Amino acid sequence: MKEVGWPGNVKKYLAIGILVGIAAYIVIFAYVYKGNFIRFVDIIAHGNPNDAFTALLLRILVSIVHATVWFFVIYALRKVDYVKVLSITGVALFFEVIVPIGGVTEVVKILLAIKLRLLSKEEAIASLLIHRVLTSLGIIIVTVISLLAIKASLATCLGLLIPAAILLSMNAALCLVPASKRIEKLLNRYGRRFGYDFEGLSYAYIEKLIRIRRAVPFILIAFMFVILERLVNGFYGIFTASLIGTHITLPVSLLTFDTIYAILWLFPIVTPGQLGIYEFIQTGILSHLGINLDEAAAMSIISRVIYVFGGYVIFAVFITLLGLSVRSLIAELSAPTANKASREDS
């Protein structure tokens, strides 16, 4: 049996992304710490290491709550196994850390939901797009409340609310795209080249949206978990700050550890998990909100370490439960490109 390897294009993008991320970290240390690594260590040494475990648990809890939102959106369509939804989410979320391709989380969710016969492609697409709308709506609500709580300046309000509003608008518009017959024809024209058939997608998708609309109680429960996810992110930020001996309030933590995703989602993904980009943006927001620049950078770097470690723990557990491997999944994600290349070579 031929062993499944990592496709060459994924290796190339991953290598380039990691190099860009490393370059970003070099810039951070050169600018913030003037190349003095001891200063970074000294900041960390003043923190409370006992909060590391709590921060890690909260990071893992964020992923669990995120999966629960999707579970209740799906439940508006059909009864599903919660453990499978949780497992698919845990695997998909970590993929954005290792594959620097925009939308890879959603692609992996759809791929696994169909592969494991949890959902049809129309159900997977409809539930994920509704999930995105609910999440972006929750982010903008929590952002408004947090900005009011800290009595933020007009510039700060505009800087954080405009990306959140754009994200909500984009997700709402994206939710309508699969319902278009014209889009269905376009997808069919290109999809058939790679063995994908989208015939009847628009009609089936509209039918799924109608079913979701009729199950309002489940959508309301899902939205409650969206708000809970925001709050858990906020408390995660507080405990991360405590690791370097700094205290931040819940509103500030929500703006810097949750609203930040509204900004990140508008950026093209060029590094695995936005490595370096996340740190630059978060450090800038924290500094703007009154945190010392060197402490802000240290907080962001520690957050990255916890994020990757916590994500890997979830990923390792659930990919084992699903009986899958990283290489096989990446090979499936890259299959269309590989098929196209093989046809061109022949």
Q: Indicate if the pLDDT at residue 336 is higher than 50.
A: no
Residue partners of 342: CB distance under 8 A and separation at least 6: none
Q: Which residue has the higher pLDDT, 33 or 102?
A: 33
Structure tokens at 1: 């049996």
- pLDDT for the residue 17: 64
Cβ–Cβ < 8 Å for 70, 127: yes
C-beta atoms surrounding 117 within 10 Å: 8
Q: Express each pLDDT in 205-251 by its tens digit.
A: 777 877 787 788 999 999 999 999 999 999 999 999 999 888 999 99
Which of 79, 89, 164 minimizes the C-alpha distance to 131? 89
Query: Which helix H or strand E contains 267, and what residues bound it?
Result: none
Mean pLDDT calculated for residue range 123-141: 92
Structure tokens at 311: 């994500």
Domain range annotation of the chain? 8-118+221-345
What percentage of the chain reaches a pLDDT higher than 70? 77
- pLDDT for the residue 266: 74
Structure tokens at 167: 């994200």
**pTM for this predicted structure:** 0.82
Rounded Cα distance between 105 and 132, Å, is 12
Mean pLDDT calculated for residue range 265-277: 69
Q: Residue 209 gets which letter from DSSP?
A: H
Q: Express each pLDDT in 153-187 by its tens digit.
A: 999 999 999 999 998 998 888 888 777 666 666 65
Structure tokens at 192: 């058939």
Mean pLDDT calculated for residue range 295-316: 85
DSSP secondary structure string for all residues of 133-160: HHHHHHHHHHHHHHHHHTT--HHHHHHH
Which of 226, 120, 139 minimizes the C-alpha distance to 178? 120
Q: Indicate if the pLDDT at residue 61 is higher than 90.
A: yes
Q: How far is CA 323 from CA 121, 122, 148, in A?
A: 21, 25, 47
Rounded Cα distance between 244 and 7, Å, is 40
